[in-house]
Amino acid sequence: MQMAVRQPRPLSPLREHVRDTFWFAPLGGLLGAGVLDRICAGADRTLVGALREGREFGRIEALIRFAEQAGGVVNTIGSAVLTLTGVVFSISLVALQMASGQWSQRIVRLYVRDRIAKATFAAFLATFAFTLLAQFRYEDGMRARTVHTVPFVTSAVSLVLVAASLVLFIAYVNSTMMFLRISHVVDRISQEAGRLLTLPTRPYRAREGAGQLGALLGTEVYRGPAGVLRDVHVARVCRVARRHGVVVHLLPRIGDFLVPGTRIVALHAERGAAGGTGRRVDTARVGRACNRALSTGVERTFHQDLAFGLRQLVDVALRALSPAVNDPTTAVQCLDRVQQFLAEAGTRPLGLLLYGDRAGAVRLVQDLPTWRDLVRLGFVEIRNVAPGNPQVTRRMRAALEDLVGMVPEERRGPLREQLSLLEQAVERKTDDTRVREFALTADRQGIG
């Protein structure tokens, strides 16, 4: 079993949890609009005060004329932006619902994480809130010699916000249209899946002794709400383990469904301390800290789940090969990305992931899918439903043969096993030699 060593990223769980929500950016836009309104009001007072001190009443008159002309526009903007926001996002959600029903329910999750969608929604709400507050700055019958503030800066900023909202609206329409194209969705899933493979790791070497667990000190069960294990706050677990002088072995994989009472961690003595560390370890306290470091939810996420992207690609391929859809070309596109993912994973250490503290001592051991697990996930289910579809079988054979030439010798066994099973599946499907030969001919495009 291969291993890799990685340093924890302290703030990564919080960042990912925020990205998985849709309320944070719009709420930030509303709060930002309130702050910006106060800043603009102060700037207006300062500007008029400076002009009054300089006796430049002509310029104040010009500011008043501009503010009065812009006032009608600002008054119209508020209701128009709010109406546009409701219509646009309602239509978008209907379109996404149709796309998710056609291909995969998880398309909605990609939309929730989309930065352009959040930025557009936040900009629209901020523009509405700012223009609403700006209307209180306008006064009837403003005179240059008696006025103390003119909403000049406020009016100008309102127009800038409208222009920015229109630009973001164009980007949002383009981004939403991409979500309706399955090729773009498959590409987004592949990018998210491959990002975890690009995190800096270094292969474990036996002379480091990093993976040698000491004596078992105890285990801890899960005490939180039932749900899918989304991620672990690695930095927190490493700090607790270092403080108590233990090594924490996370027993479930990221993506497993946890129920209360499930064993989640095994606590081991540090390497070389076969009989313990010489001090009494409060295993209950460490266990409680580990429980607090686990995050569960209703669905899996890309953040620390190595196999989740591959799972999504397979799901889309299976939906495409279903009788209701019958779109083998989409399944071929998914196989393209499955091959890409496995080609990247084929040269990386898998099986165990070790997290160390600043001193280099291993504090957390996390189970990862093995190479055989990933290969089976990528091909078994698609092969089971595609033996009668030569476009898919030809692409699958090409992917397997290409991967055999890309990965080290010790990882070629599972690929050759899948090649053999593919041949058997096609042979069981048809007795015609010419049909079998055609279906088992490697073709990177399927059938052109």
Q: What is the DSSP string of 304-336?
A: S-TTHHHHHHHHHHHHHHSTTT--HHHHHHHHH
Residues 443 and 339 in one domain: yes
Please give the pLDDT value at position 410.
92
Reported as type and span, the H/E element at residue 63 is: helix 57-102
Please give the pLDDT value at position 203.
45
CB-CB contact of 442 with 401 (8 Å) = yes
Residues 54 and 149 in one domain: yes
Output the CA–CA distances (angstroms, integers) from residue 374 to 310, 343, 418, in the order listed: 8, 11, 12
Written as one letter, the residue type at 302 is F
Range of the domain at 82: 19-180
Residues 318 and 427 in one domain: yes
Residues 284 and 425 in one domain: yes
Residues 138 and 262 in one domain: no
- DSSP-assigned letter for residue 410: G
Please give the pLDDT value at position 3.
52
Q: 361 pLDDT exceeds 90?
A: no
416 CB neighbour count, 10 Å cutoff:
12
The rounded radius of gyration (Å) of the Cα atoms in the chain is: 30
Q: φ, ψ for residue 54 (rounded to 5)? A: -90, 5
Asked if the structure places residue 186 within a domain, the reply is: no
Asked if the structure places residue 401 within a domain, the reply is: yes
Asked if the structure places residue 40 within a domain, the reply is: yes
Residues 419 and 312 in one domain: yes
Residues 346 and 375 in one domain: yes
Asked if the structure places residue 195 within a domain, the reply is: no
Q: CA angle, 220 as apex, 219 and 222 as ends, to 5°?
A: 150
Please give the pLDDT value at position 385.
93
pTM over 0.85: no
Nearest in space to 153 (alpha carbons), one of 56, 32, 44, 33: 44
As a whole number, mean pLDDT of residues 377-382 equals 95
CB-CB contact of 197 with 340 (8 Å) = no
- DSSP-assigned letter for residue 225: -
Output the CA–CA distances (angstroms, integers) from residue 442 to 53, 103, 328, 446, in the order listed: 83, 26, 16, 8
Average pLDDT value for the chain: 85
- DSSP-assigned letter for residue 286: H
Asked if the structure places residue 83 within a domain, the reply is: yes
Residues 98 and 36 in one domain: yes
Name the 3-class secondary structure at 411: helix
Beta-sheet strands, E only, within 144-261: 202-203, 216-221, 227-232, 246-250, 257-258
Asked if the structure places residue 44 within a domain, the reply is: yes
Q: First vs last Cα of the chain: how many Å apart?
A: 39
Asked if the structure places residue 4 within a domain, the reply is: no
Q: 406 pLDDT exceeds 90?
A: yes
Asked if the structure places residue 6 within a domain, the reply is: no
Please give the pLDDT value at position 414.
95
Q: How far apart are CA 398 and CA 415, in angstroms?
A: 11
Tokens of 192: 């998210």
Q: φ, ψ for residue 218 (rounded to 5)? A: 160, 175
Q: 274 pLDDT exceeds 50?
A: no
Pairing label, strands 3-6, 352-356: parallel
Q: Mention every residue, 6+ apart, whose C-beta is less than 8 A from residue 332.
A: 391, 392, 395, 445, 446
Residues 167 and 301 in one domain: no
Q: Mention every residue, 6+ apart, whose C-beta is less than 8 A from residue 273.
A: 214, 215, 245
Of residues 201 and 241, the one with the higher pLDDT is: 241
Q: How far apart are CA 435 and CA 448, in angstroms?
A: 17
Residues 165 and 228 in one domain: no
Q: Tell me the DSSP string of 169-202.
A: HHHHHHHHHHHT-HHHHHHHHHHHHHHHHTS--E
Q: Mention every residue, 6+ apart, whose C-beta is less than 8 A from residue 81.
A: 124, 127, 128, 131, 162, 165
Give the CATH number for residue 402. Answer: 3.90.1170.30
pLDDT tens, position by position, 47-94: 877 877 777 777 778 877 877 777 777 778 777 888 888 888 888 888
Please give the pLDDT value at position 302.
85
Residues 239 and 98 in one domain: no
Tokens of 137: 């700055």
Domain count, the chain: 2
Residues 55 and 88 in one domain: yes
Q: How far apart are CA 389 and CA 158, in angstroms?
A: 58
Q: 206 pLDDT exceeds 50?
A: no
User: Where is the domain boundary, 145, 180, 215?
Assistant: 180
Q: 8 pLDDT exceeds 80?
A: no
